[in-house]
Amino acid sequence: MISNLKERNRFFLNQRQKTLLTIIVAVVFLLCVILGSFLLDEGRIATNLNDRNSPPSLDHLFGTDWLGRDMFTRTIMGLALSMGVGLIGAIGSASIALILGMAAATFGKLADRFISWLIDLFLSVPHLVTLILIAFTLGGGFKGIVIGIALTHWPSLARIIRAEVMQIRSTEFVQVSQKLGKSRWWVAAQHIFPHIIPQVLVGFLLLFPHVILHEAAVTFLGLGLSPHEPAIGIILSESMKYLSSGMWWLAFFPGLCLLIVVRTFDTIGDKLRILIDSTRAHD
């Protein structure tokens, strides 16, 4: 009886193994999208009036647009471009959150009050509104959208990092180091920073869904990437003119793929958070 139960349990994954498997599958999917953008033939997004307005088929999985460009190729390249913009913007935003979060909890009450006030100020205004204002001020384009993302998506993560640093700072080993005369910089680099790396990593990954969606939204409004780039926001913006003509595939497939990619990043962040949580990782 016991041997049969053990044999049966071999075929079932525990929570940790399921979580790792989900992360691996999600990462492989995202890598396929990125590699696909380099492997696909760029000639398929060139103007070809003989194949314009074609519905989805085996030759054109997502159909073609009014210029005969293959929508599957444009969508994959647009997703890769959005992920590239999201990566740069999320790195900048996570860096700002890390610096301000550690400074608020390390450099005294005055710094903490100022940074907490700054976090509350940015959180009081919707990200998208601030992002549009910054992108418009900087003239749009790649530079405007990346700087806008970096400057608008850090407050929530900074607040989390501040709380983590405050908790670590009250531990015994940090108190002992301070009594031994170690400087704030030494304590922050040797004791605090290594302990908040998991939270920063999870927060960085969870920034991706918001960053990618906001980049697509601002580009859709014409304040983001150049119209010559195969960005998802541009594809969706252009497709709005042709939906009334029955060309539903121009917006349906790019929009669906964008939601799938966003959800994939969200899933990776959630599963990593489960692995880091010691109370749930070994279920």
Q: List the chain domain ranges.
A: 82-276
Residue 57: which region, alpha, beta or left (left: phi > 0; alpha: psi -120 to 50)? beta
pTM: 0.80
pLDDT of the residue at 5? 44
**CATH code, residues 82-276:** 1.10.3720.10
Q: CA-CA distance, 188 to 102, in Å (whole number)?
A: 8
Predicted confidence pLDDT, tens digits, the chain (283 residues): 445 444 444 556 667 778 888 888 988 998 998 898 888 887 788 888 888 888 888 888 888 888 888 889 899 998 888 888 888 888 899 899 988 888 887 777 888 889 889 888 888 888 788 888 888 888 878 888 888 888 888 888 888 888 888 888 777 877 777 777 777 777 777 778 888 888 888 888 888 888 888 888 888 887 777 777 778 888 888 888 888 788 888 889 998 999 999 889 888 888 888 777 655 544 4
pLDDT of the residue at 28? 92
